Structure 1
Amino acid sequence: MSRRGFALLAVLWTLTAVTVLTAAAFAGARLGSTTTRNRVLLARAAWAREACAEILQARWASPPDPLSAMRRGGTTATLDSVDLGRGTWCSATLEDPSVKLNLNLADRPALVTVFQAVVHRAALVDSLVDALLDWRDPDAVPRPFGDESSGNRNGPFADVWELRYVRGFTDSLVAELTPFLTTRGTGAINVNAAPREVLAALPGITEETVSVLLMHRGSAMLANADALAGLLSPSARATLLASYPEFVRAAVFAPPQLVGVVTGGVRGTPITARVTLMTVPVAGRLAVIRRETE
């Protein structure tokens, strides 16, 4: 090959290298621009989220408002998409975890009662409940119908959907149980708002007592266990009073905690910022005791 050929080849390789480097520089610039834009959008979404948390607090403190139903014994309150201007929006939900049975705190009889409402085979209920208890307890000793495998957490459930990893639980079964179970809250059950399946898990509760509680929800909220006892027949009242200490420890008549999920975003983008707030209702406001930012 002549010297001209070598020179031409060198020029071509140089042009190729310059082209590749230029393309890489442009790609890096585009990536940097996209990253910067996403950071700006995420910051705007976070500010929208914080604004919605303040709106939630203000609505709670100023009845009548969309949250009034929760004060009367409702289970969930929602702030639909709120337009905050300049393309930002936010939404929020406020839920009462005491309308469900706490998966990490409930004892075996309470779990069996709730599971029987969904699973109508006694042997299967025993197997599922024992496997659940073996999953969450710290020891390695299996229960009669349980399972202490190496994959067990041996600690509290992170959320209800973790049940899918426990022996015997399928996705469809967990979906059926989800309306009645939670991993949040104090473990007490709100008798003014919990569904029939959860009320039945309380100590000293008969079918009559459950029916009375459900029928009474159209009127004023019950204030305490004595008010409930006054509505019952002698036999149902006697059953309640026989387990009175256990009942008053397990039951509440207003939500001790509320869980708020607040989301902020920018319209036209998929970017959102979310926070879960564990709150305690106190005089005229919601006291935030824990934040979980996503």
Structure 2
Amino acid sequence: MTRRRGDERGIALLVTLLVLVLVVALAHEVFRIGAQSAQTGAYGRDSIRCILLAEAGTGAARIALRQDARDNRYDTLDEFWSRAALPITLGDGEVRVTIEDEERKIDLNRLMLPNGNAPDDRRLAVFQRLLDTLGIDRAVADAVVDWLDNDDDPRVGGAESPYYLGLPKPYQAKNDLFDTVGELLLVRGVTGEVFEKLLPFVTVSSSGVVNLNTAPKEVLMSLSAGTDLAEGGAIDAKTADEIIEYRKDHPFTAASQIGNVSPFLGDLYTKTLFKTLVGVRSTYFHVRSSGDVGGTVRTIDAIGIRVGNEIQWRFWRIE
């Protein structure tokens, strides 16, 4: 009951924040919109209003995440910001905001060691296990590493610039970090179908530590790959389900508490480097805020970093 009341208070807070942020945004924009209205049609005016609504949504999300940082030392799927978004009516428009932490995913940019000369073998093993779980050829992992590394020597299943320059629309291998997840579509072997399979489980903007409270089953099943635990096997589907079931009523306030789920997981945490891959707090958040006025929709897609109690936008795009 306490959690439900907290959710209701959180939703009420979000609505209040949306209204307050929108009022401030309108105060700044009303004269600009008025000046432009003579030159724009109805669609143009509605588009501007949609963007204002979307900006109000991102502003409210920013404030809500700041408040969450003050109130909680860990992040879970039970917090109001992580619930499915319902449209909120403001005047004759609607705004819908979704917030998703990026620490529930595997960070592709962390597959390389900091110098960019070689892959981090443990993190690469985790990604390869994810590919296995999703039914994707492991050659994709080699191609991703070649896209990231700073040399021109292709791995067994990978590709460097000579391959990409031979395509009908040629381009160079990046040999650098991904700026967006969408860049994956440039990598050899990543078809549209493969991309859609990977999209819920990979990121290019995170702390590199997977949040045990928010990670989906497929990611949890990947995390034991590359560990040096002699016995006990890997985190299989059954064990991942046990973690998910346990955290529903007992959210992890410290990563070491995963040992409460089973002795195997306790050994995995205490006896291997598994502990370096997991945590209970999220730092990077993907915010999508859509404003809808009379069927015209504009969306702001943003990545925010929570530093202390502040949110800094790392990526911002209007769609």
Q: Which residue number corresponds to residue 61 of structure 2?
A: 56
For the 8 Å contact 1:73–1:221, the answer to whether it is kept is: no
Corresponding position: 1:100 with 2:100:
no
Letter in 2 for 1:44: R
For the 8 Å contact 2:220–2:235, the answer to whether it is kept is: no
CA distance in 1, matches of 2:189, 2:287: 32
Equivalent residue for 2:314, pick from 282, 285, 290: 290
Aligned-CA RMSD value: 3.1
Corresponding position: 1:206 with 2:232:
no
Corresponding position: 1:224 with 2:236:
no
Distance change in 2, residues 1:266/1:100 (3 Å): same
Corresponding position: 1:190 with 2:190:
no
Q: Which residue number corresponds to residue 19 of structure 1?
A: none
Q: Which residue number corresponds to residue 270 of structure 2?
A: 241
Letter in 2 for 1:111: F
Alignment size in residue pairs: 246
Residue pairs, 1:45-194, within 5 angstroms: 45-57=50-62, 61=67, 70=76, 72=78, 76-85=82-91, 87-106=92-111, 107-119=123-135, 124-125=137-138, 127-149=139-161, 150=165, 151-194=172-215
Letter in 2 for 1:143: R
Cα deviation, residue 73, structure 1: 6.6
Distance change in 2, residues 1:167/1:37 (3 Å): same
Cα deviation, residue 91, structure 1: 1.6
Distance change in 2, residues 1:73/1:253 (3 Å): farther
Cα deviation, residue 191, structure 1: 0.9
> Secondary structure of 2:253's partner?
coil
For the pair shown, the structure with the greater C-alpha radius of gyration is 1
Letter in 2 for 1:145: G
CA distance in 2, matches of 1:58, 1:157: 28
CA distance in 1, matches of 2:46, 2:81: 33
Distance change in 2, residues 1:250/1:158 (3 Å): same
> Secondary structure of 1:109's partner?
helix
CA distance in 1, matches of 2:79, 2:88: 25
Unaligned 5+ runs, structure 1: 1-31, 63-68
TM norm structure 1: 0.71
Corresponding position: 1:263 with 2:263:
no
For the 8 Å contact 2:105–2:215, the answer to whether it is kept is: yes
Corresponding position: 1:276 with 2:302:
yes
Letter in 1 for 2:216: P
Distance change in 2, residues 1:156/1:75 (3 Å): farther
CA distance in 1, matches of 2:250, 2:205: 27
> Secondary structure of 1:185's partner?
coil
Cα deviation, residue 168, structure 1: 1.9
1:172-222 CA-to-partner distances (Å, cap 9, x unmatched) read: 122122221122222211111212221123245633753431220221201
Unaligned 5+ runs, structure 2: 1-36, 69-74, 112-122, 166-171, 228-233
> Secondary structure of 1:91's partner?
strand
Distance change in 2, residues 1:279/1:78 (3 Å): farther
CA distance in 1, matches of 2:249, 2:292: 39
